[in-house]
Structure formats: structure tokens, C-alpha cells
Amino acid sequence: MMQSKSIIYSFSKSSDVNQWYITNDDVMGGISNSKISLDENGNGKFHGNVSTENNGGFAMVRLPIHIELNNNSKKIVLKVKGDNKKYQFRLKSQRNQRYWYVQSFITSIDWETIELPLSDFYPSFRGNKLNIENFNSNTIHEIAVLISNKKDESFQLLIKSIEVL
């Protein structure tokens, strides 16, 4: 049986990055900063500086969406080029959900395809794992990429596409 692929988001030179929202630790007094833009090839470029000052330490870019998953949907597939740092990919299964389903991945400095099984996304709220089941929904209402490695660092993640397979 062939798996069907659905593109959640594919960046291009004509992409409107204003659809994406930045949420940094300034919502709780931190001073981290980040930005989403396009590089010269039309890839999404999530970049900035994370600071642990003032109890901060994270930067996130998020996109409200509505994706219906089919019964064969098994994983999120990211095409990215990073900086040897750890990031989280995040999902929300309901529009007003307060917690995220999260899974970490480590990037390299080369373009790569990262596969994240949907069943491995675990529920988390403010960095704490919740005692409820892992992602098991037929919808995705929001996606996000977050960096929060408990240290001061600059970062840059290029994103070509985000798909569900």
C-alpha cells in the first residue's frame, strides 16, 4: 500500500511569512528574540538569539492551520538545514488547546529529511510532560518549531517543507 503525502507547508520565494507568529520568552519576562524570514532561495529562515536572562530561554515560531489526517498518516517529515542544535517540533490537535504535543530533533549543518512519528509526540505544558496519552488525533490545528536548550545561544534553522506522510 502506498502512503499518501500531504504538504502542511512548503516555503518558496513567494511565501507570506506573516502567516507565521513569533512567540518568545518575553511573554514571561525573558529577552530572547527571533524572526521568521525567507532566505535568498525561498526557504523559511527561523533565526535569533536565546537568552536565559530573567528566567527566559526559548524562541518559537508557530502557524495556525487546519489539517485533516487520514488513517494512513504516520509521521511528520521535515526538510531542514540547521546548526547542530536541538529543536522541538510541536502540534496542537485542538484550536484552543493550552498544551502542545512535542518531539525533539537535532539538526546538522546539511540539508536533511527528519521523520517524526506522530505516535511519539507527547503532551507538554510549559516544559513539563503531562500524564495523558500521546498524540492520537485526526486533526492538526497548529504547528510550531521551538528552541529551548537551557543556555544562551544564537540559532538558525532553514525550513524547506513540512509534510505529513
Comparing C-alpha atoms, which of 102, 90, 71 is closest to residue 4? 71
How far apart, in whole angstroms, are the C-alpha atoms of residue 110 and residue 114? 12
Rounded average pLDDT over 132-155: 98
- C-alpha cell belonging to residue 99: 498544551
Question: Is pLDDT at 3 greater than 90 in this prediction?
Answer: no
pLDDT, averaged across the chain: 96
Rounded average pLDDT over 98-106: 99
pLDDT tens track for 20-51: 999 999 989 999 999 999 999 999 999 999 99
pTM of the model: 0.95
pLDDT at 4: 66
> Quick one: pLDDT band at residue 98, thresholds 50, 70, 90?
very high
- Give the domains, in start order, of the chain with CATH numbers: 6-164 (2.60.120.430)
Question: Is pLDDT at 1 greater than 50 in this prediction?
Answer: no
> Quick one: pLDDT band at residue 5, thresholds 50, 70, 90?
confident
pLDDT tens track for 59-95: 999 999 999 999 999 999 999 999 999 999 999 999 9
Comparing C-alpha atoms, which of 19, 39, 5, 67 is closest to residue 159? 39
Handedness of CA 83, 153, 11, 41 (dihedral sign): negative
